[in-house]
Amino acid sequence: MSFHECPPPGCQGSGAGAIKLRISPKERDLGGFSVRRVLPSGKLPMLGPFIFWDQMGPAQFPEGQGMDVRPHPHIGLATITFLFEGAIMHRDSVGSVQEIRPGDVNWMTAGRGIVHSERSPEHARGGRLYGIQSWIALPADQQEVAPEFSHHPAATLPVKSGDGWQLRLIAGSLMGMRSPVTALSPIFYADLQLEPGASLSLEAPYTDRGLYPVQGRIEFGGEHFETGTMVVAASGSALEIRNPGTEPARAMLMGGEPFPEKRIIWWNFVGTSEARIDQAKADWKAQRFESVAGETEFIPLPDR
Q: What is the pLDDT of residues 211-236, one digit of tens each?
A: 999 999 999 999 999 998 999 999 88
Which band of pLDDT confidence, cut at 50, 70 and 90, is reported for residue 8?
very low
Q: Is the pLDDT of residue 14 over 90?
A: no
Residue 182: HSE in the Cβ half-sphere, 13 Å Cα cutoff: 6
The angle at the Cα of 282, spanning 281 to 283, to the nearest 5 degrees, equals 90
Amino acid 43: pLDDT: 80
Q: How far apart (Å, rounded) are the C-alpha atoms in residues 239 and 212?
A: 12
Looking at residue 70, its pLDDT comes to: 94
3 state DSSP class of 18: helix
Query: Would the pLDDT of 280 be above 90?
Result: yes
pLDDT-above-70 percentage for the chain: 93
Instruction: Decide if pLDDT at 186 tops 90.
Output: yes
Distance (Å, rounded) from C-alpha 40 to C-alpha 15?
26
8 A C-beta contact, residue 172 and residue 134: no
| pLDDT score of 93 | 98
Instruction: Average the pLDDT over each of 33-37, 64-68, 284-288 and give the range with the smallest value.
Output: 33-37
Mean pLDDT of the 246-261 span: 96
The answer to whether 165 and 181 have CB atoms below 8 angstroms apart is no
Give the start-end residues of each E strand in 12-111: 19-24, 26-29, 34-39, 50-60, 68-74, 77-85, 88-92, 97-100, 105-109
pLDDT at 129: 96
Which amino acid, residue 295? E
> Which region among 56-60, 170-174, 261-265, 268-272 has the lowest average model confidence (pLDDT)?
56-60
Mean pLDDT of 140-145: 98
